[in-house]
Structure formats: C-alpha cells, structure tokens
C-alpha cells in the first residue's frame, strides 16, 4: 500500500509579508536556520522512517534551513538546496555558517580596514556569535572575528543575532 506524504504547509497564522510564518509544531519562524547535531543524518523523502533516504548529510555543525515541520520531523535544505525530512533530534538550535568565499578575511572588527586575524577557506563551518546588518562575528578553529554577512551561508541578509 502506498501512502502520500502529508502535505507540510506553513501554519496559517495570518502572517503578512513582514511577519514570519510560524511552524505548527514549534511555533518558531519558518524558514529558519539550525545546525546538524549529528555527524551523519539521513534526509528522507517524507516525514517518517518508512520513506526512502534521498540524501545523507555528513558534516556535524553544518547549517541547514528548516522549510517545514511535521510532528517530530523537519524538512531541511543545505546551501545547494539539497535535503529532505530529518528527525528533529538530529538538529540543534546552535547557529553556524559555512564560508562561501575562498580566503575570506576574518577581521578584528566589523570594518574592511580592520586587521585580518585569519583567512578562511571556502567550506569552513563556523559558529555564529552575533550578526549586525552587514557583519557576523564568528569563531572557527580557535580563531574569532568578523566577516561580511554576504560571504557566508546560514544567516538571512536582514537577520540580526545578538
């Protein structure tokens, strides 16, 4: 017997374009960023163990965007749009980003003229400490500093993190 995956529609909250849609399960904004808690996680075609595995994420702390919720499952996607349904226990609210630009300067202050404290390679995953409208303070590999927000994936352009 075949069963269709339940449609995961955003909560009907009457949200306007300026207000986020809230998830039916958590009441948290959809979409939102989280990180992968496990070193390996299966992304399934639907929200149940009975659905086939379409993708396997293999990088702990990788940032993912939640696009839907259904019971204990979250539909996620990576920066390339790959993903599927993952059990919520494999996800963390810890905010991380992935560096998009090779040799990205990590700066001492949120200013292009500020000294570089390190150069980050594309693909590096870093923890987010805070973000203002243009810059994020991150830490990776024992280094800490500021990067331009548009050079990383895992935060929305208008997002402020304190």
- Domain range for 74: 21-94
Nearest residue to 94 (alpha-carbon basis) of 53, 50, 63, 59? 63
Do residues 86 and 107 both lie within one domain? no
- Residue 63 counted as domain residue: yes
Do residues 105 and 134 both lie within one domain? yes
Do residues 26 and 76 both lie within one domain? yes
Do residues 85 and 25 both lie within one domain? yes
Element spanning 13, H or E: none
Do residues 52 and 116 both lie within one domain? no
d(CA 121, CA 55): 25
Question: Which domain CATH number covers 67?
Answer: 2.30.30.40
Per-residue pLDDT tens digits for 28-87: 999 999 999 999 999 999 999 999 999 999 999 999 999 999 999 999 999 999 999 999
Do residues 68 and 131 both lie within one domain? no
- Residue 14 counted as domain residue: no
pTM value? 0.86
Per-residue pLDDT tens digits for 77-97: 999 999 999 999 999 999 999
């Amino acid at each position: 017997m075949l069963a269709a995956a339940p449609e995961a529609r955003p909560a009907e909250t009457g949200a306007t374009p300026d207000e986020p849609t809230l998830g039916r399960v958590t009441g948290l904004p959809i979409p939102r960023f989280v990180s992968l808690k496990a070193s390996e996680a299966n992304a399934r075609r639907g929200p149940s163990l009975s659905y086939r595995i379409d993708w396997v994420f293999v990088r702990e702390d990788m940032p993912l965007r939640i696009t839907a919720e259904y019971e204990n499952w979250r539909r996620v996607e990576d920066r390339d749009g790959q993903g599927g349904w993952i059990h919520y226990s494999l996800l963390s609210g810890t905010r991380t980003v992935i560096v998009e630009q090779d040799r990205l300067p990590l700066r001492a202050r949120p200013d292009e003229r500020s000294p570089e404290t390190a150069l980050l390679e594309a693909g590096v995953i870093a923890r987010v400490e805070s973000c203002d409208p243009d810059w994020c303070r991150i830490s990776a590999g024992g280094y800490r500093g500021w990067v331009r927000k548009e050079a990383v994936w895992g935060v929305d352009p208008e997002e402020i993190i304190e």
